[in-house]
A and B are shown apart, each in its own frame.
Chain A
């Protein structure tokens, strides 16, 4: 086994129209790791995955996957990775069993092994009962599970999952999480991109955040959350339209310690600060004095959503759909929220090791 399942150094991908989708990305993913790759829509996640699975050639830099150079040895890379693209990719006119048989044959699984492997995978994704039904009749969740199974037929040491649970209901999502966790427990390296930060939080050993084609943060979920800098105070206003004025009050009064970020939300405002808990009541008093009604507040530990917002200045599509801002303008006592872009070292931008590579 190689020490690193993925070694990407200074990778850039520029499309023919000049769009720089990925710029100078360094990435090391250890064998056996469950690695999360996060970023807003259009940040470059899918472009990088497609480069790692040899669908795209890097314009610059080097990519090594499972010890094979992705440009010089693409066939070896293809033979040793599983790939579940963002959009479900199964043949709707074939049955579940036929889809798996096609995948087995495509990856050269021997005939002696094929039957057992198909049965094993059908059982894994709980499709044994509908194995001989045409996939077109399946629900979205069943199609996704079948898609995941086809990516695993050849027991790849590394699996790429590009937003595998997007569009699924929570129950279907939870089932897929179990499968992914199980294959990772069995030793498979998993590279996951997702819109659901809860998913990344629960599954991933380590995360990188990409924005505008560059890695802007990486570390374990816990490390990244700690780097947000304190606790989160959510304030719900009686008149959400007054959130900008409330942010101005919070900022003008210099209520919170330096480095705090104060962000308007759809229902009020959010404060991220080391002293959010102790100075929270002062903010409520200041808001009352400014004649701004408050109907609720909550002090909590940071989530990956807060990490994502702090690093990218945006909420994920999933978080936005749950009621947050798609593009929140962060105002802080100490500067722009993006300055809080975090690494394990607490530095701005990706944390380079001695080789200049994020780990």
Chain B
């Protein structure tokens, strides 16, 4: 006799996404410490940089205040820091057994990654809103208005995907909180400084301009800055086909989408194979 048992195969993809999203959102709300702490460094950068470099830099920025110039870089930094903490959450899940429990359930692996990332997206939107508001208070201007502010949040979300994926891959590979934090932090500051984040690229050494061309942060910052200023700001790729800020947005968003797909695929593969990868 061989009658198969069980006719339930878990929920749908959407319900698996929702289930994961709800769990991670509850954890975020219950632990606002992470939200607040990950805002500290970007806010310090925003306040300090505008005070220290504001006077010098504004003269080189042709009519744009340094506050306006800097805010796009800070919101991208916020997304970067938030994405870096994503892996830490996964390490905690591995340590407290929830990761294994999820893998042994019939939940869709892609949905699990998407749901967790969506919860982090909500946190990033909240943080970006706080930083944008602070920037405006400090004197920054968003040329494209409220629509532009929403677009900036959207770009930050898109930008965060590749680093969220990277951070999760680090977590799965190292399975250690400290290693994940060190690995993610090791890249954050150098990547910010060898990009168009804090100063216009033409003002930086040639080698930094070359590295910046291959640095994802350059594309995130240029895209948010284009929306902030309402004009074409990209210098690493010359595009004139779309006109105005779209000459920056189209190539920058294309690069960010490709990065998100590439890193996201690697993360999903790593998470799916996490348990069995050790076996021949």
A residues apposed to B, CB below 8 Å:
1-3, 13-17, 50, 53-57, 59, 66-68, 75-76, 78-81, 83, 85, 87-94, 98, 102-103, 105-109, 134, 150, 154, 156-157
Contacts and interface: CB of A to CB of B under 8 A. Distances in A.
Interface of B: 1-6, 8-11, 15-16, 18-19, 22-23, 26-27, 30-31, 93, 96-98, 100-107, 275-280
Given A15-B278, A93-B30, 20 more contacts: A15-B280, A16-B280, A50-B275, A54-B104, A55-B103, A55-B104, A55-B276, A56-B275, A56-B279, A57-B276, A81-B104, A85-B100, A91-B93, A92-B96, A103-B101, A105-B19, A106-B11, A106-B16, A134-B30, A150-B101
B19 A94 contact: no
B279 A85 contact: no
B99 to A, nearest CB: 9
Given A14-B280, A16-B280, A106 B6 contact: no
Contact of B27 (A54, A78, A93, A156): A93
A106 B1 CA distance: 30
A42 to B, nearest CB: 15
B173 to A, nearest CB: 14
B11 A105 contact: yes
A2 B96 contact: no
Given A55-B276, A59-B280, A88 B97 contact: yes
B105 A1 contact: no
A100 to B, nearest CB: 12
B279 to A, nearest CB: 5
A91 B276 contact: no
A90 B98 contact: yes
Given A66-B4, A66-B6, A107-B10, A79 B106 contact: yes
Given A66-B5, A91-B23, A106 B98 contact: no
Contact of A13 (B3, B277, B279): B279
Interface centre among A66, A89, A109 (most CB of B within 10 A): A89
A91 B26 CA distance: 11
A85 B280 CA distance: 22
B279 A57 contact: yes
B6 A79 contact: yes
Interface centre among B1, B26, B105 (most CB of A within 10 A): B105
Nearest to A75: B106
A92 B26 CA distance: 12
A98 B19 CA distance: 11
Contacts of A107: 8, 10, 105-106
Nearest to B107: A106
Contacts of B19: 102, 105-106
A134 B26 CA distance: 12
A66 B106 CA distance: 15
Contacts of B279: 13-16, 56-57, 59
A89 B3 contact: no
Contacts of B280: 14-16, 59
Given A14-B280, A59-B280, A154 B8 contact: yes
Interface centre among B6, B26, B31 (most CB of A within 10 A): B6
B97 A78 contact: no
A105 B22 CA distance: 11
Contact of B8 (A17, A50, A59, A79): A79
Contact of B97 (A56, A79, A85): A85
Given A16-B280, A105-B19, A91 B98 contact: yes
B82 to A, nearest CB: 18
Nearest to A17: B278
Contacts of B103: 55
A67 B5 contact: yes
12 contacts: A2-B5, A54-B104, A55-B103, A55-B104, A67-B5, A85-B97, A88-B97, A91-B27, A106-B10, A107-B105, A108-B8, A109-B8
A94 B2 contact: no
B104 A78 contact: yes
A67 B3 contact: yes
Contacts of A98: 23, 26
B25 to A, nearest CB: 11
A88 B96 CA distance: 7
B275 A106 contact: no
Contacts of A105: 11, 15, 18-19, 22
B247 to A, nearest CB: 45
